[in-house]
Amino acid sequence: MIRNPFLRRIAPQLIILGIVLGLNVLVFPDFFHVEMKNGRLFGNLIDVLNRGAPTALLCVGMTLVIATKGIDLSVGAVMAIAGATAASLVVDGNHWTVAVIGALSVGALCGMWNGFLVAFLRIQPIVATLVLMVAGRGIAQLITEGTILTFLDPGLIHLGAGTVKGVPTPVLIWLTLGLFVAYFVRRTALGMLIEAIGINEASSRLAGINSRVLLVCVYVVSGIGAAIAGIIVAADIQGADANNAGLWLELDAILAVVIGGNSLLGGRFSIVASLLGAMIIQSVNSLILLSGMPPEFNLIIKALLIIAILVIQSPKVAHLLYILRASAPQSHPKQLPPFKESKR
Amino acid sequence: MSIKSILLASAVALSPFAASAQDMTIGFSQIGSESGWRAAETTVTRQQAEERGITLKFADAQQKQENQISALRSFIAQGVDAILIAPVVATGWDGVLEEAQDADIPVILMDRMVDASEDLYLTAVTSDLVHEGEVAGQWLVDTQAGEDCRIVELQGTTGSSPAIDRKKGFENAIAGHDNLEIVRSQTGDFTRSQGKVVMESFLKAEGGENICALYAHNDDMAVGAIQAIKEAGLNPGDDIKIVAIDGVPDAHLAIANGEMNATIELTPNMAGPALDALMAYKTDGTVPPKWIQTESRLYTAADDNQAIYEEKKGLGY
């Protein structure tokens, strides 16, 4: 057995990721081949890391929000708003750093709005964030005036389509942010406080945790993550597409958190496992594209793979595996504990 | 269309009735602002009406049929001379179209058809999606002139009628040309970002040097794919030929820059042919055919794409 508790926590995700990547190699033997082309790393594995960036960025904040027993449905729409903000700022002649700061502020503001509704007005998170999910795309369309707002600013484009020493910038951005937040919440008491709110908010408040401020904070982190994802997606295509940027991506982010083994009922969480979940989803997408199957099969393949992943992770199956292992006579000859019913 | 406009011009010159066209009022019920193309269609419709001295009453339905029906009823109540409508859905129009017929107001459908009796409307002006695909395929057949070509295809949203018809048309055109083969076909959801993502996987799965041409069901996906091709160190338009459909401004710009080879225009000018047919009908009673097909014009590097880009940019795409 694995001794290190951290490795044990993310072991299922690592194994599933390995299996899905293995399937990729089956349909496309050169999958792991990476080469330098035109000054950038070029290969399917790089694509998985690069294309998984928006989901990975969203699932960092989403993991924290879900750990507080919340959910953030607005992240896809916030991506569209942030992308539109950044694009319109550079189109108006501002420096790209101004555009990035503007977009991040808008993302933080959106998060603050969600946090306010949840923490102070006590609206259920799924409803509170639904408001911005519906309205957000309309706000983004107002900013872009309904068109795809294109820009040619090299600084902004670099964030989505550029490379640093051959590595695509989005990969560096999500790795940095994801690992920083993961490290930060575990090296301070913050992670534990967030878990406490998710397990029982009332008692955590009685224990002296300022739950309202913390709740607002996790939604702000989620909003900022969404804003970064929105900037990357817009920069990637050199235009802000208010209708399609981040469409349905909130669901992918929630799925990544779930594949990461985090409970939607809040409590214990692992950001690294969620990030692995995002990479698993992207590997499934890559598998679909490389398989060369007609597009009518896309959603069916994706659904079958995801149901398989979730079934493997489900508590019942985990329990069955445990029983099987425990009842194997040669390794553990000890008796099973008696059923609860027999005590009556 | 040109013969029709000459006839119309002579009718305007000769007939005393022609004066009536000057103070004609027509109602236009637009679906809403669902895409850049639709915004351009609205702009062009206003321009076309203005050129002919027609007063246009405009109603935006915000993607709702009940808004369109109430707009039509209000047009009928105001006693307009004709109604143009871009129907948001195909069904449920019989009642309000009958009301228009009872009031003797001709109705012209633009861009989309309805499931109603043909007697209830004067004519429908739409483009032929299958034909658009055929023009794209024929362009590639002509360009390749017998040379072998492995084609990758970016489909529209799976199951949507433009995706089905544009695919069918392209396949019709390349059928029988054994040198042309579609080696990969995947959906890019009509969006730039998906076009880019899917093209990236095509480039890896097939190897960039083994792909000779890209056919995209719309220009946006092609524009995304161009970026993917550039990032792979290849020259779009040269190493990989690119043909797509719609004729949006950015596609003309890409052709002007030599990064794309051809686009087939889905003209936003549905109102021009519609108004020509209407005025011929009003002035000398010429009953138009039930379907007027708009031209699916092919634009290549031979056209002045920079000028077209500047011109189209202002239409609200």
Kindly report, residue by residue over A64-115, the tens digit of the pLDDT.
999 999 999 999 999 999 999 999 999 999 999 999 999 999 999 999 999 9
Q: What is the mean pLDDT of residues B146-168?
A: 94
- Put simply, whether B197 touches A (Cβ < 8 Å) is yes
Q: Where in chain B is the domain with CATH 3.40.50.2300?
A: 2-127+269-286, 129-265
Q: Which residues contact B44 (CB under 8 A, 6 or more apart)?
A: B268, B269, B270, B271, B272, B315
* Residue contact B187–A147, C-beta within 8 A: no
Set of chain A residues whose Cβ sits within 8 Å of the Cβ of B233:
37-38, 42
pLDDT in tens, A191-217: 999 999 999 999 999 999 999 999 999
Q: What is the mean pLDDT of residues B106-112?
A: 93
Q: What is the mean pLDDT of residues B200-211?
A: 95
Q: What is the mean pLDDT of chain B?
A: 91
Decide which of 3.40.50.2300, 3.40.50.300, 3.65.10.10, 3.40.50.670 is the CATH code for B2-127+269-286: 3.40.50.2300
Ranges of chain A with pLDDT below 50: 333, 341-344
pLDDT at residue A150 in the model: 92
Q: Is the pLDDT of residue B1 over 50?
A: no
- Put simply, whether B187 touches A (Cβ < 8 Å) is yes
Q: Is the pLDDT of residue B14 over 70?
A: no
Q: How much of chain B, in percent, has pLDDT values that exceed 70?
A: 93
Q: Where in chain A is the domain with CATH 1.10.3470?
A: 41-292
Q: Give the closest-approach CA distance of B222 to chain A in angstroms.
A: 11
Please state which CATH class domain A41-292 belongs to. Answer: mainly alpha
Q: How confident is the model at residue B11 (pLDDT cuts 50, 70, 90)?
A: very low
- Put simply, whether B205 touches A (Cβ < 8 Å) is yes
A150: nearest CA partner in chain B:
B250
Superfamily holding B129-265: Response regulator (3.40.50.2300)
Q: How confident is the model at residue B315 (pLDDT cuts 50, 70, 90)?
A: confident
- Put simply, whether B43 touches A (Cβ < 8 Å) is no
B154: nearest CA partner in chain A:
A295
pLDDT in tens, B129-145: 999 999 999 999 999 99
Q: How many CB pairs under 8 A join A and B?
A: 79
pLDDT in tens, B244-264: 999 999 999 999 999 999 999
Q: How far is CA A106 from CA A55, A220, A226, A239, A246, in A?
A: 19, 10, 10, 18, 16
Indicate the SS3 state at residue A113: helix
Set of chain B residues whose Cβ sits within 8 Å of the Cβ of A236:
193, 196, 227
* Residue contact B191–A244, C-beta within 8 A: yes
